[in-house]
Structure 1
Amino acid sequence: MLRYVEVESEAALRDWREIHNLIIPTAPLSAEEVAERALRNHLEVAYLGDVAVGNSTVRPPAEGTSVVIARVLPAYRRRGFGELLFRRAVEHARAWGATTIETIVLASNDDGLRFALRHGFAEIERYVLPGDTVPFIELRQGPGPA
């Protein structure tokens, strides 16, 4: 149902960035920042037909822990797309050797926080970026199979 495209082209970079900046308006990224992130993380865009509906970030594991973030545009939520995108991203993290999965959700993103809690994540930290007022919430899911 969904088609996944790794952020390697200008079009995918643009779509990934637009989704990020709509869902995380307090920390917008430039095209250059997304291109740099694509060099060190696994970034994908999920398309329904030709429409970008979500994106994901998978950070390589550090000491067995990988950060996985799945974002779905509000108009496409509650259709199972977040579940598909999240599972795919976790599979990628596990293939890289992650035994623990963490995620980060902007505190104002009620849907994202509910999704994380439903998937067994628990809050481990809150922080506010310099100049911002809305905190980010770091959550940990727990160990998985080695």
Structure 2
Amino acid sequence: MENAYVGDVLVGCSTVRPPEGEAGVVTVIARVLPEWRGRGVGALLYENGLAYARVLGADAVETCVLAVNEDGLRFAGARGFVEVERYVLDGERDEWVDLRLSVTGC
């Protein structure tokens, strides 16, 4: 996990989950508080996470975004991610979108 600060203010964070099993899929998630979006923070977090995914030997990279987060979906789509699944976790109401970037996109 990496935190992003502007001065002393936490503005975002990222998570990189290492590959599980033989699939070689690494999960990279970059989160930026709404008021800090569009300033390059997410791009920096994502690029750092993607670089680490490469070090881990990723064959593909996945991410997940809340369906209502249009900025996040646009961000992922602009970087070549494609939707693979939408779902609601048991007992929850929020819809999530899983997206994938092939190794050629890494």
TM-score (normalizing by structure 2): 0.91
CA distance in 1, matches of 2:105, 2:44: 20
Corresponding residue number in structure 1 for 2:72 = 112
Distance 1:144 1:61, change over 3 A: farther
Query: 1 or 2, which has the higher helix percentage?
Result: 1
Deviation at 1:127, TM superposition (A): 1.2
CA distance in 1, matches of 2:16, 2:81: 16
Counting only pairs closer than 5 Å after superposition, residues 9-20 of structure 1 correspond to structure 2 as none
Q: Which protein, 1 or 2, shows the higher relative CO under an 8 Å CA cutoff with sep ≥ 6?
A: 2
Deviation at 1:54, TM superposition (A): 0.4
Aligned residues: CA RMSD: 1.5
Residue deviations 1:23-73 (CA, integer Å, cap 9, x gap): xxxxxxxxxxxxxxxxxxxx1111112111100010001221101000000
Deviation at 1:145, TM superposition (A): 8.0
Corresponding residue number in structure 2 for 1:94 = 54
Runs of 4+ in 1 over 4 A off after TM superposition: none
For these two proteins, the number of residue pairs brought into alignment is 104
Do structure 1's residue 68 and structure 2's residue 28 form an aligned pair? yes
Corresponding residue number in structure 2 for 1:81 = 41
Corresponding residue number in structure 2 for 1:123 = 83
CA distance in 2, matches of 1:145, 1:123: 14
Corresponding residue number in structure 2 for 1:56 = 14
Match of 2:4 among 22, 39, 46: 46
Is the contact between residue 45 and residue 52 of structure 1 (CA under 8 Å) also seen in structure 2? Answer: yes
Deviation at 1:134, TM superposition (A): 2.1
| Identical residues among aligned pairs (%) | 53
* Higher Rg: 1
Unaligned residue ranges in structure 1 (runs of 5+): 1-42
Unaligned residue ranges in structure 2 (runs of 5+): none
Is the contact between residue 99 and residue 145 of structure 1 (CA under 8 Å) also seen in structure 2? Answer: no
CA distance in 2, matches of 1:137, 1:69: 12
